[in-house]
């Protein structure tokens, strides 16, 4: 993303959620601006910055036509700029996961997002056409800028500001039912109970309709009485009425759904089923009532077909419902982690209270084998905590006084007392569940293909059925009426777009849940899809490749007085919170050196820190900056080279223009970084490191970890430029970082990975948040993304091939060659099987294991 200081945020947009959206917006505006790079899209603020002189009304229309409602806004120079690093050195990080730190997912952002979204539980939706109709109904409401429905869990989300009751009426006016989801957890429990009841009901309906259909078929085949004669006419009329009663009792929801759709000028799966089974029954009852009105060869009844089709579809829906329940297993496992009670210490007494009654500040005891009820900080005792369900890390982590613990984790050994810091919906677990649910309901770009097809699918199928009927009636063999009816009915039944509507959301739900099991929180559906296409991963150094815990390794003073060197450096660094500053302060404390009092402290981003001592400038920072200030560092060159050869960072100290010495600070490479980078290489991905550290240090780390390329001595604001540069070369780029200064680069990349131990700003700028500070999380997320996208492709291919082959065969394509005309009963079985196949294939993802987990299991 280019940074042009002459740009002004002139458009307000909605619905843009990823870098793919940003590229579409820039492309839509390119005819007006002449260059897409002159447009800046701010996803966080939902604004578009344009060069001066552009007609904002015309630009707003272009963006709206691209699918992102836009309107001109007042000119402002306040283009959102990320906060600068608070320290001179290259990166700012938070402590690593190994130190017991967990990401504090920013609730403010989630709340703000939720305030703009209204969540609905939808009833009556059965196929991709239903999804398209409901989304159109929601977006037609004034104040709603976007909407999407998830057929996998029958929920819809409307983005914008509108009265929920108005949204409910809009859905109902389309022929479906809706209700507002007030409490997601309660809604999940209610839905599970409703699904269990509905499953049992479907099985009962299936048994009744299949029993009748099979009975009629066996009876007809055994006594050759499927044809109406004068002797059995009354019997068939009676059986026809019985069949009608069974059809209404076991398939009434199809007919009421079709009627509602008709009243609202829509067509969906219910329409096709109702037309197909209804046509077969009406034809049969006419034959039974007035057989003489038809040729003798056409006096054949199909009551068994109507009953069996409904029975088979009910069976398919029951199996589909059962399989769909497994797709949300990951969320249920997260929900099961929540403790029901907590042992709270109040007024010196321990008492078991419902977790809802725990307040921030309460002291809680957790004994061995118990789950941690809320987030907090240990005040007494030590233990080992199993955090595998939150971070994907299989080994328990040692915890002691001052360390944080998270709700849902398991205390495996010692007894601890900790103080509650975040309770209820503020806990990390609650926010993880919220993020996972949101991502499971999102729709990646590949899923929108089904939406576009579904908009015209059902009307097209109805037209094909009419054409097939006309062809059979006019040029088909006798009995033409029978062949016409069978062909039209079979086309209508086999073409139901259930599989098409389930192909994407089922895989997304399982894939997002699987990623959460490995500690990767995917915040957007597009990030899930794009991660599988990555061919370049750019890594920040400190806190990403390294542990983020630098320590002083060398001190060399020009006058050999290392104590004074440390005292002066500590005098500057005591004003900073940067990890390098902490390393120097820790060294000074260990050497019992007191910091010198320094005035006028100033941090210069990417350069160093400075202050005043006795009226002279005191500077501590990198070589390039100090040499620019006229300081001669030649005498310290050899020592600095030794530091960098050991993958350390040399920090030079100078008073005025006089060099006082160099301090070497090294940040150890994480134990698993090399293995994780090797996994990325095995996946065909190029790895680059971008750091503000000196070239020699960067080169040493790159050589040690096997990184393909690196950029050193990069200013924080230039990281986003490098990301854009590599994207311009045709790479699909991921940025991995954890610091404030990584936020612009994370936002500018195709997929941003935020190390979860980092800052809120970095986490908010990324599409994927890693709950542990390991690069294995990046490789895991990419493997899961590729598996999920591959699964979606399989589902879509199966759905398209099913309809592409099934509809022509049902219409009678094979009849001229082999005399084969598909039975409506077989069409009903095939349609149900297609939906079950898609859902079952999506559930295969639940068994997926990344190469790292497979390797761990193999080593056991």
Residue numbers annotated as active site: 540
Q: Which two tokens stand for residue 148?
A: 């999407």
3-class DSSP state of 172: helix
Q: How far is CA 619 from CA 552, 591, 616, in A?
A: 18, 22, 10
How far is it, in rounded angstroms, from Cα 246 to Cα 282? 15
Torsion, CA 164, CA 170, CA 176, CA 177, rounded to 10:
20
DSSP string, 490-512: HHHHHT-THHHHHHHHHHHHHHH
Strand order in the sheet with 397-399: 397-399, 383-386, 410-411
Helix (H) or strand (E) holding 42: strand 40-42
How far is it, in rounded angstroms, from Cα 317 to Cα 268? 16
Q: What sign for the dihedral angle of Cα 782, 784, 785, 789?
A: positive
How far is it, in rounded angstroms, from Cα 615 to Cα 656? 9
Find where tokens 């009963």 sit. Answer: 825
Given a contact cutoff of 8 angstroms between Cβ atoms, the answer to whether 323 and 840 are in contact is yes
Output phi, psi for 797, to 5 deg: -60, -45
What pairing do the DSSP bridges indicate for beta strands 349-354 and 341-346? antiparallel
Bridge partners of residue 385, in order along the sequence: 397, 411
**Exposed, middle or buried by CB within 10 Å (0-12, 13-18, 19+), for 591?**
middle
**Exposed, middle or buried by CB within 10 Å (0-12, 13-18, 19+), for 335?**
middle
Query: Among 569, 544, 561, which residue's Cα sits nearest to residue 664?
Result: 569
Contact partners, residue 613, CB within 8 Å, separation at least 6: 568, 571, 596, 598, 599, 655
Q: Which two tokens stand for residue 765?
A: 């700028």
3-class DSSP state of 14: coil
How far is it, in rounded angstroms, from Cα 353 to Cα 366? 13
How far is it, in rounded angstroms, from Cα 731 to Cα 751? 12
How far is it, in rounded angstroms, from Cα 597 to Cα 275? 88
Given a contact cutoff of 8 angstroms between Cβ atoms, the answer to whether 845 and 514 are in contact is yes
Given a contact cutoff of 8 angstroms between Cβ atoms, the answer to whether 447 and 149 are in contact is no
Strand order in the sheet with 416-422: 349-354, 341-346, 363-366, 416-422, 375-380, 404-405
Looking at residue 665, the DSSP 8-state letter turns out to be: E
Query: Among 6, 163, 5, 160, which residue's Cα sits nearest to residue 68?
Result: 160
């Amino acid at each position: 993303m280019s940074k042009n200081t002459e740009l002004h945020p002139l458009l307000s947009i909605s619905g843009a959620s990823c870098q793919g959206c940003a590229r579409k917006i820039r492309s839509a505006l390119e005819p007006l601006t002449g260059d897409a790079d002159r447009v800046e899209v701010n996803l966080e603020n939902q604004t578009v910055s344009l060069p001066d002189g552009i007609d904002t009304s015309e630009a707003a229309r272009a963006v709206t036509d691209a699918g992102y409602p836009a309107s001109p806004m007042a000119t402002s120079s306040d283009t959102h700029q990320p906060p600068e690093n608070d320290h001179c050195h290259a990166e700012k990080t938070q402590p690593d996961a190994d130190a017991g730190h967990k990401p504090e997912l920013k609730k403010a952002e989630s709340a703000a997002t939720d305030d703009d979204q209204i969540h609905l539980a939808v009833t009556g939706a059965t196929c991709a056409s239903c999804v398209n109709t409901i989304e159109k109904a929601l977006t037609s409401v004034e104040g709603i800028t976007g909407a999407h429905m998830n057929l996998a869990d029958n929920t819809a989300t409307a983005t914008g500001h509108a009265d929920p009751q108005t949204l409910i009426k809009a859905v109902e006016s389309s022929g479906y039912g809706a209700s507002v989801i007030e409490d997601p957890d309660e809604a999940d429990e209610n839905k599970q109970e409703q699904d269990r009841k509905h499953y049992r009901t479907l099985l009962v309906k299936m048994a009744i309709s299949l029993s009748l259909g099979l009975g009629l078929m066996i009876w007809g085949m055994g006594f050759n009485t499927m044809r109406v004669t004068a002797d059995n006419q009354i019997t068939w009329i009676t059986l026809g009425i019985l069949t009608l009663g069974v059809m209404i009792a076991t398939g009434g929801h199809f007919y009421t759904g079709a009627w509602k759709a008709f009243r609202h000028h829509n067509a969906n799966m219910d329409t096709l089923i109702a037309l197909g089974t209804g046509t077969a029954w009406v034809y049969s009852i006419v034959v039974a009532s007035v057989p003489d009105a038809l040729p003798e060869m056409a006096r054949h009844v199909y009551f068994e077909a109507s009953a069996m089709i409904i029975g088979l579809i009910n069976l398919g829906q029951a199996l589909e419902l059962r399989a769909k329940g497994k797709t949300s297993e990951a969320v249920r496992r997260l929900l099961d982690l929540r403790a029901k009670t907590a042992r709270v210490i109040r007024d010196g007494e321990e008492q078991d209270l419902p977790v809802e009654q725990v307040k921030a500040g309460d002291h809680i005891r957790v004994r061995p084998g118990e789950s941690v009820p809320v987030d907090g900080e240990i005040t007494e005792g030590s233990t080992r905590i199993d955090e595998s369900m939150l971070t994907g890390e299989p080994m328990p982590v040692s915890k002691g006084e001052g360390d944080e613990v998270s709700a849902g984790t398991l205390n495996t050994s010692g007894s601890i007392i900790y103080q509650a810091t975040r309770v209820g919906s503020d806990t990390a677990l609650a926010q993880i569940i919220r993020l996972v649910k949101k991502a499971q309901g999102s729709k990646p770009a590949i899923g929108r293909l089904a939406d576009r097809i579904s908009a015209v699918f059902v009307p097209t199928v109805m037209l094909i059925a009419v054409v097939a009927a006309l062809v059979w009636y006019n040029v088909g063999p006798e009995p033409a009426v029978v062949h016409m009816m069978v062909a039209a009915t079979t086309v209508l039944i086999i073409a139901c777009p259930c599989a098409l509507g389930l192909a994407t959301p089922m895989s997304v739900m399982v894939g997002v849940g699987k990623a959460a099991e490995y500690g990767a929180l995917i915040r957007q559906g597009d990030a899930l899809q794009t991660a599988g296409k990555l061919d370049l991963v750019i890594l920040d150094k400190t806190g990403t490749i390294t542990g983020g815990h630098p320590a002083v390794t060398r001190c060399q003073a020009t006058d050999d007085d290392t104590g004074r060197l440390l005292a002066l450096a500590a005098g500057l660094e005591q004003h900073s919170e940067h990890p390098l500053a902490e390393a120097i302060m820790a060294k000074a404390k260990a050497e019992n050196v007191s910091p010198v009092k320094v005035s006028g402290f100033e941090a210069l981003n990417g350069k160093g820190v400075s202050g005043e001592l006795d009226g002279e400038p005191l500077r501590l920072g990198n070589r390039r900056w100090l040499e620019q200030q006229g300081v001669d560092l030649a005498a310290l060159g050899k020592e600095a080279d030794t530091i960098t050869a050991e993958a350390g960072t040399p920090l030079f100290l100078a008073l005025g223009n006089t060099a006082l010495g160099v301090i070497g600070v090294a940040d150890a490479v994480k134990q698993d970084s090399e293995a994780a980078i090797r996994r990325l290489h095995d996946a065909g991905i190029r790895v680059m490191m971008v750091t503000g550290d000196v070239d020699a240090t960067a080169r040493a780390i790159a050589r040690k970890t096997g990184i393909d390329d690196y950029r050193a001595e990069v200013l924080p604001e230039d990281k986003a430029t490098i990301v854009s540069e590599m994207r311009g070369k045709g790479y699909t780029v991921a940025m991995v970082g954890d610091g404030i200064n990584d936020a612009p680069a994370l936002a500018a990349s195709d997929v941003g990975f935020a190390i979860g131990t980092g800052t809120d700003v970095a986490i908010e700028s990324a599409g994927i948040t890693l709950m542990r500070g390991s690069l294995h999380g990046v490789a895991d997320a990419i493997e899961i993304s590729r598996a999920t996208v591959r699964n979606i492709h399989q589902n879509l291919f199966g759905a398209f091939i099913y309809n592409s082959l099934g509809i022509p065969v049902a219409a009678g394509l094979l009849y001229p060659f082999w005399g084969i005309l598909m039975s409506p009963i077989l069409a009903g079985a095939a349609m149900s099987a297609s939906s079950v196949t898609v859902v079952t294939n999506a559930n295969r993802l639940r068994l997926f294991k990344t190469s790292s987990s497979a390797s761990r299991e193999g080593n056991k």
